[in-house]
Amino acid sequence: MAPTPGGNRRTRIHVVSDVHGNARDLARAGDGADALICLGDLVLFLDYADHSRGIFPDLFGTENADRLVELRTARRFTEAREFGARLWSGVGADRLGVVEKAVRKQYAELFAAFPTPTYATYGNVDMPPLWAEYAGPGTTVLDGERVEIGGRVFGFVGGGLRTPMRTPYEISDEEYAAKVEAVGEVDVLCTHIPPEVPDLVYDTVARRFERGSRALLDAIRRTRPRYALFGHVHQPLVRRMRIGATECVNVGHFAGSGRPWTLEW
């Protein structure tokens, strides 16, 4: 449980998502807030805005990163996987070890930047088994769980659904729906991916529909939380809309903006 602010003063929460390696701004993201909420995707594997940044270009160079982004943006996923496989074949048998070492380096810096208290859940590019090693006593990791902050109940559901991209923490629709069900009725529903609404899942720069959750949409309609907060879609067609009584908000691509979204009551 988060400590409830004393007296009648207002509670202020800052929310970030899709940090993708931006430790510098993350260190300031909780300034002036009672708590920080992070909705995942801490790892930067490949920056679609700057192809020279991330684990992939560090290993294989910017030109190869350019080519991979070109194939993925054109939705030529089979060619993209084959291209990536040829590059990875040169790494040798310890591909997972090479990636884990790079992820660990990023996690050490990013978790050290979290203020106290922070409440966090996983994104689809994260590696959940590593989080327990890096989350300090001021960081609470939640997935399919609830917590009270300032007298309101927040529910957290991490990860993404399976896609041709095959990112590290993609799970089945059934497993995701079970976590949504476990959260139940809350005041604020916090997830990495959005509900399955076309305007919320379409990325205007990548020019594709990302995967949203039908189970999440059904839960919003059924349980009517005050807010549904999420990220995942970096440049959405619509950042904010109402679904019944619920204000649905894409809290933004923090790696690009460096600014948290604020919830106050």
Helical segments of 114-186, H only: 128-134, 173-183
Structure confidence at residue 49 (pLDDT): 82
Contact 57, 51 (CB under 8 A): yes
Give the predicted TM-score (pTM) of the model.
0.91
Contact 48, 69 (CB under 8 A): yes
Q: Is 100 inside any structural domain?
A: no
Whether the bond into 236 is cis, omega within 30 of 0: no
184-212 tens-digit pLDDT: 999 999 999 999 999 999 999 888 899 99
**C-alpha distances in angstroms, 220 versus 16, 131, 258?**
21, 28, 28
User: How far apart (Å, rounded) are the C-alpha atoms in residues 237 and 248?
Assistant: 13
Q: Is 88 inside any structural domain?
A: no
The CATH number that applies at residue 148 is: 3.60.21.10
Q: Is 162 inside any structural domain?
A: yes
Token pair 């510098």 in the structure block, residue? 24
In this predicted structure, the answer to whether residue 247 has a pLDDT above a threshold of 80 is yes
Q: Is 110 inside any structural domain?
A: no
Domain of residue 132, residue span: 13-43+117-256
Structure confidence at residue 92 (pLDDT): 72
How many structural domains does the chain have?
A: 1
SS3 103: helix
Q: Is 195 inside any structural domain?
A: yes
Q: Is 18 inside any structural domain?
A: yes
Residue type, 261: W
Q: Is 2 inside any structural domain?
A: no
Rounded to 5, what percent of the chain is helix, strand, coil? 35, 20, 45
Q: Is 179 inside any structural domain?
A: yes
Structure confidence at residue 2 (pLDDT): 42
Give me the residues paired with residue 113 across strands. none
Q: What are phi and psi of 214, to 5 degrees?
A: -70, -40
